[in-house]
Amino acid sequence: MTPELDVFPGAFPHHPPADLDDHDLLVDHDWRAFSAVKQMTNHWARPGWSEGSRAYYWMLTFPHAEDLTGRARYCQDALAHLGMDPVPADGLHVTLTRVGSTDAVSTDQLHLLADLVEELALTSFEIAAHPMAGSRGAVRFTLAPWSPLVRLHAALSEAGRRAGVPGGKPTIAFRPHLGVQYSNRERPAAPVVESVARLRTLGPVSLEINSVELVELRRTTGPVPAYRWRVVRSVPLRPRSDLPVLSGRQRG
């Protein structure tokens, strides 16, 4: 059973979609929220991320997803005139949930947390990354369906509660997405929305999710800021033989 999402002021979009599995609805929901943004923010000006900050997160990473990296690169090239910070090919990720800062989570808690998640024997699943929408601070792919991602978030959050880690936002606030480039200053949103709209005819990229990564996350500075991480534990997801066949708009 998929947990319900709810209105949450700190999430984007604030309101969850009416259906977590309908690809067209999810794509339209994300786009309507992004096209209503008037002013973009500086993604890097976020509280809690001072120089040298490190924290543990659960993430999905894509080190061998060539179709995804190729599509992301194509979109970044098409949007290069905006002067945003592109996510490097080896930095593409889906943030699932925060575990806690490195000084608030012990090594024993990390091992317990990873063991608890591995014991859940969670099942692999397939999602699609649809070009393209955004938020107040980023340009990103819309992911669909949301249901398996929401169930995964809830399972990871419950394991975190059992392990006694600080944790992150509740599952009701989870809005899955995959960032492609980050806004590095405040700016009017209209030129960004207009440019992103030209990429919305591209077909989606299929992604098979076979593992979930517990990582130590940090931010790098330099000419192009980026998120980097060290994998603490990669937890495999149980194979399944009945992965859905994408059809229609889902295939592209």
DSSP structure string for 219-246: EE-SSS-EEEEEEEEEEEPBP-S-PPPP
Does the model's pTM come out above 0.95?
no
> How distant, in Å, are the alpha carbons of 74, 124, 187 from that of 129?
14, 16, 26
The full set of domains in the chain, from first to last, is 23-45+53-240 (3.90.1140.10)
Question: Distance between CA 247 and CA 122 in Å, rounded?
Answer: 25
Joined tokens for residue 82? 């905006």
Print pLDDT tens along the chain (252 aa): 899 999 999 999 999 999 999 999 999 999 999 999 999 999 999 877 776 789 999 999 999 999 999 999 999 999 999 999 999 999 999 999 999 999 999 999 999 999 999 999 999 999 999 999 999 999 999 999 999 999 999 999 999 999 999 999 999 999 999 999 999 999 999 999 999 999 999 999 999 999 999 999 999 887 889 999 999 999 999 997 654 444 334 433
Nearest to 147 by CA among 239, 22, 21, 246: 21
**What residues have CB less than 8 Å from 43, skipping those under 6 apart?**
85, 137, 138, 182, 183, 184
Sheet holding 93-101, edge to edge: 93-101, 54-61, 211-220, 226-236
CB atoms within 10 A of CB 217: 20
